[in-house]
Amino acid sequence: MANIGTALEGKGFKSYDSLFGGKWYFRWTPYRAVALGLVGLLVFAIFYRLIRGLGPATNLNDHWPWGLWIAFDDLSGIALAAGGFFTAFMAHILNAKKYKMLARAALITSLFGYLIVSIGVLMDLGRWYNFWRPLVFWGYHSWLFVVLWCVILYLNVQVLQLGHIVFERVNVPKLKKIFDQILPALFVVGIMIACVHQSALGALYIAMIDRQDPLWWSMLLPLFFLLSAFFVGPAMCVVEGSLASKAYKMDFHHEMPLLVPVMKIGMWTMIIYFVLKMVDLAYRGYFMNMFAGTLESNLFLLEIVAGVIIPIILLAKPNEQQTVPRIVTAAVLMVGGLILDRMNVVFTSMGKAMGGHYFPHFIEFSISIGLVSFLLLAYCFMVENFKIFPDEHEHAH
């Protein structure tokens, strides 16, 4: 606060408009009103969960202590936020300048993705007021300890990265200079933490040896989670890009020269992922399990065929022959396949060992859906008030 104060004095404070770069606005549409209603439902659900406790607010039980929030909000949500670190890698580590605008849009979704994941996980903690204790008592022997540190650190790093974008509009030159100077270090640290986090989420399930179905359990789970997050990064950029260009009436074809090469990187990552997964299954002697015809094996096949093999085939054509529908189809399949993979890791693969049954409670759905609605609204607000998308004239050349 002191910084802002001195900065204001130095500039000679004139008006709020000159400080904040004009009035900030938020356009209302029927869809956004619905989203706001869902955020209202989220607030109600959060109060209900906090006042009544986990038992009445969820259908979690002794058989299924982890449910929708872990599978959807945490494991899937974090993987889908991978677009953030993937584009940061392209734009700022490899210094491919044309990806810098893409990285901005991905940073916004990644940051708000992590924010809603943090809220979701906090709701999932039975004694949430104790969330800081692991930081003091150092349960360093747990993969969850690694996850917690990664979430907290990465969230902070991303907020600091956002500073660069915010102070393009908010007129405080001193702060802007600081944020710009620390940016390269933030990108390196951010990507490092994000990669450890993705792997750590997979590593959580190493402890489920002999309980998780061998089609999924492997010592390589952390590597599989990292690789799948890495290839879903470009897929999320395509999905977000096509949705954003629809919503903001921009021409998606202009983005193709940007997106096709990164989807190719995604394709090669998928090939590595697929080969590793098959070799790992064969090495452990469970290769034939996927053809057993059980629910588990069929869902495994669905995840691999629809989420990995078909996208590889779709993307295998030379860059010039790639079309918008082809790329978007591949991206949607990759994203769907990844969500199915995380659902399989949490539910399908554990079914036999856990017994009992579980179907999410209304409140659990409300919180998950409400958090996603909040993410969409926050994204729209950021896009409309800050420089996230490239200017149209940049498209021209």
Of 155 and 189, the one with the shorter C-beta distance to another protein is 189
Pair 103, 87: CB distance under 8 Å:
yes
Query: In whole angstroms, how far apart are CA 183 and each of 3, 180, 195, 214?
Result: 19, 5, 18, 43
DSSP 90: I
Binding to another protein by residue 138, rule CB under 8 A? yes
| Opening angle at CA 47, ends 43 and 52, nearest 5 | 150
- Provide CB contacts within 8 A for 69, sequence distance 6+: 120, 121, 123, 124, 364, 367, 368
Residue of 9, 23, 210, 293 interacting with another protein (CB under 8 A):
210
- Could you say which of 200, 238, 367, 372 contacts another protein (CB under 8 A)? 200
387 binds another protein (CB under 8 A): no
Q: Judged by CB, which is closer to another protein: 221, or 290?
A: 221
Does 288 bind another protein (CB under 8 A)? Our answer is no
Q: Does 229 bind another protein (CB under 8 A)?
A: no
Helices (H), 218-291: 221-247, 256-284
Residue with Cβ nearer another protein (227 or 333): 227
Stretch 295-334: interaction string toward another protein, x if CB under 8 A = ----------------------------------------
Cβ proximity to another protein, 148 vs 314, nearer residue: 148
Q: Which residue, among 298, 343, 331, 305, has the nearest Cα to 231 in the 3D structure?
A: 331
Region from 24-32, 205-213, 235-243, 275-283 binding another protein, contact rule CB under 8 A: 205-213
Judged by CB under 8 A, the stretch of 179-187, 292-300, 308-316, 337-345 that binds another protein is 179-187
Give the residue with the Cβ less far from another protein, 293 or 356.
Answer: 356
Q: What does 54-75 look like in DSSP terms, one character per residue? A: HHHH----SS-SS-HIIIIIII
> Per-residue string for binding with another protein, 51-90, x by CB under 8 A?
xxxxxx--xxxxx-xx----------------------x-
- Is residue 99 within 8 A of residue 84, CB to CB? The reply is no
Helix axes 324-346, 221-247, angle to 10 degrees: 140
Q: Is 216 in a helix, a strand, or coil?
A: coil
| 131: contact with another protein by CB under 8 A | yes
Q: Count of residues binding another protein (CB under 8 A)?
A: 68
